[in-house]
Structure 1
Amino acid sequence: MMHSMAGAVFWSVTVLVLWVLAVGGAGWAAVRMIRQPRRQPPPSLPSPLDILERRFAAGDITHEEFDEARARLREHHLDV
Structure 2
Amino acid sequence: MMYWNGGGWAWMMFMPLLWIVLIGLVVWAVIRLTHQPTGHGNGPEQRWPQRETAEEILDRRFASGEIDAEAYTEARQRLAAHSPRRQ
* Structure ranking higher on relative contact order (CA contacts 8 Å, 6+ apart): 1
Larger radius of gyration: 1
Which has the larger helix fraction?
A: 1
- TM-score for both structures, normalised by structure 2: 0.44
